[in-house]
């Protein structure tokens, strides 16, 4: 295990290279001091994916770091929710009297009581830690209290918000839906309205996982859809609109593309990203959806651009404009966008696309390399299409 190279990758925030370098690490490497040093560096740098990977590979999270600090204590004291989650992911007994979960909860509660982290950017996620550790210990707070924790920072991208929505959304009964709907209707409080919409969306996701019957229908889906549909045209706040779009498409059982198409050209990148994650061409609005995806394929936000190229790559359509859009991104600076563009062309028999795929493949070092799994999926699709083409060839049809 090359510790200097790994530490350099962590320092510059290059999770992909760090994971790639760790592929050849042996059990002895991961049991040694270098692995503990790397874990500490990744945690302090906020590189959660690297921490996750190290913990999954068996690095001991109970061993103190070089300055004598206990990892769980450090994560809780600093409000690093994601790092703490990774460190605790292999802990099997949160209810024991000396569990790290109880220790993390006490530390986060003390930090909140003392005002630790005031003014820090981003704010430490002490409330997320408290909410999550309480849930692990069987303590479930009322919806108003969970919302109050989320609204301290009122940032839907902050862990305090996410964890409150996540745990509230797991309560998939009518009572939770009614509470969320009431909050989403509060025109006087933007934060409360956003939190209600986000909770409504989370209820659908959780219901699909925790429903007692596999084919059970969400009992309040029609009511939710009737409330959400008008918001697609009336909501002016971009963040709230994105939440409304996501919630609406989660509850609606019909073709939602027509209802959200206009927002593909929205000025706000968050709204465009939300729409792009939902749009597809298997719709009665096929031509309009295809045009919207072609527009979003040139979005300045890399993830939105990649999602649009992904939908175009696997679309049944094959037009000159579509091929031109894919070809324009064969040199895209964003790796995933480049890969999707190459895949889309290769799936249409384009030699330039195949050559671009081979160039990407030549840079794959091991199964931890970016694109390794996606390349496998693309190869499978290429084989399936080649076999289908062979089966339907004129000679094969004639029994030759």
pLDDT digit string, tens, across residues 172-183: 999 999 999 999
Both tokens assigned to 298:
């040139």
Answer yes or no: is 253 within a domain.
Answer: no
What does the pLDDT average to over 251-261? 90
Check if the beta carbon of residue 108 is closer than 8 Å to that of residue 102: no
Q: At what angle do helices 320-327 and 302-313 cross, to 10 degrees?
A: 140
pLDDT in tens, 345-368: 999 999 999 999 999 999 999 999
Q: Is the pLDDT of residue 17 over 60?
A: yes
Instruction: Quickly state the pLDDT bin for 388 (edges 50, 70, 90).
Output: confident
- pLDDT confidence bin for 400, thresholds 50/70/90: very low
Is 31 a member of any domain? yes
Q: Which residues contact 98 (CB under 8 A, 6 or more apart)?
A: none
Among the listed residues 185, 229, 231, 223, the one whose alpha carbon sits nearest the alpha carbon of residue 204: 223
Other CB atoms within a 10 A radius of the CB of residue 295 amount to 15
- pLDDT for the residue numbered 390: 76
The pLDDT assigned to 92 comes to 82
Residue for token digits 């006087």? 188
Residue 395 has pLDDT above 80, yes or no: no
76-114 pLDDT, tens digit per residue, is 999 999 999 999 998 888 999 889 999 999 999 999 999
Residue 223 within any structural domain of the chain:
no
| Three-state secondary-structure class, residue 203 | helix
Judged by DSSP in three states, 25 sits in coil
Give a yes or no: residue 348 inside a domain. no
Containing domain of residue 47, as a range?
Answer: 1-69
| 43 lies in some domain | yes
In tens, the pLDDT along 200-248 reads 999 999 988 876 666 667 889 999 999 999 999 999 999 999 999 999 9
Question: For the chain, what is the mean pLDDT?
Answer: 94
**Whole-prediction pTM:** 0.91
Chain centroid offset of residue 388 CA = 34
Instruction: Give the whole-number percent of the chain exceeding pLDDT 90.
Output: 85
Give a yes or no: residue 36 inside a domain.
Answer: yes
Q: Which residues contact 21 (CB under 8 A, 6 or more apart)?
A: 1, 2, 5, 6, 9
Q: How many domains does the chain have?
A: 1
CB 79 within 8 A of CB 124: yes
Q: What are phi and psi of 45, to 5 degrees?
A: -85, -5
**Stretch 46-64: mean pLDDT:** 95
For residue 153, being part of any structural domain is answered with no
DSSP string computed for 72-141: HHHHHHTT-HHHHHHHHTT---TTSTT-HHHHHHHHHHHHHHHTTTTT-SSPP-HHHHHHHHHHHTT---
User: What integer pLDDT is reported at residue 309 of this predicted model?
Assistant: 98
pLDDT value at position 298?
Answer: 97
398 pLDDT higher than 60: no
Mean pLDDT of 140-168: 97
Residue 99: inside a domain = no
């Amino acid at each position: 295990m090359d510790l200097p190279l790994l530490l350099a990758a962590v320092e510059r925030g290059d999770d992909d290279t760090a994971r790639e370098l760790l592929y050849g690490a042996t059990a002895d490497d991961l049991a040694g001091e270098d692995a503990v040093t790397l874990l500490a560096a990744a945690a302090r740098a906020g590189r959660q994916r690297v921490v996750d990977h190290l913990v999954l590979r068996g690095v001991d999270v109970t061993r103190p770091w070089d300055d004598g600090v206990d990892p769980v204590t450090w994560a809780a004291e600093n409000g690093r929710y994601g790092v703490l989650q990774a460190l605790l992911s292999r802990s099997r007994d949160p209810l024991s009297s000396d569990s790290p979960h109880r220790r993390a909860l006490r530390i986060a509660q003390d930090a909140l009581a003392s005002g630790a982290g005031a003014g820090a950017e981003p704010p430490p996620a002490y409330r997320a830690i408290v909410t999550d550790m309480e849930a692990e210990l069987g303590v479930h707070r009322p919806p108003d209290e969970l919302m109050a924790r989320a609204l301290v920072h009122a940032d839907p991208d902050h862990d305090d918000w996410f964890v409150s929505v996540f745990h509230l959304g797991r309560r998939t009964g009518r009572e939770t839906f009614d509470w969320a709907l009431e909050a989403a209707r509060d025109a006087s409080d933007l934060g409360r309205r956003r939190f209600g919409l986000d909770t409504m969306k989370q209820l659908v996701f959780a219901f699909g996982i925790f429903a007692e019957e596999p084919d059970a229908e969400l009992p309040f889906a029609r009511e939710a859809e009737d409330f959400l549909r008008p918001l697609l045209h009336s909501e002016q706040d971009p963040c709230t609109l994105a939440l409304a779009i996501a919630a609406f498409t989660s509850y609606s059982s019909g073709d939602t593309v027509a209802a959200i198409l206009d927002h593909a050209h929205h000025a706000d990148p968050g709204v465009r990203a939300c729409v792009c994650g939902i749009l597809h061409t298997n719709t009665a609005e096929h031509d309009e959806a295809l045009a919207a995806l072609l527009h979003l394929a040139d979005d300045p936000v890399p993830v939105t651009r990649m999602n649009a190229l992904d939908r175009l790559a696997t679309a049944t359509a094959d037009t000159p404009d579509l091929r031109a859009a894919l070809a324009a991104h064969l040199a895209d600076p964003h790796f995933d966008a480049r890969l999707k563009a190459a895949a889309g062309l290769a799936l249409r028999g384009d030699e330039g696309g195949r050559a671009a795929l081979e160039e990407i493949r030549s840079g794959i070092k091991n199964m931890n390399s970016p694109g390794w799994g996606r390349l496998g999926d693309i190869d499978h699709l290429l084989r399936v299409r080649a076999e289908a083409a062979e089966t339907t060839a004129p000679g094969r049809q004639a029994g030759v």
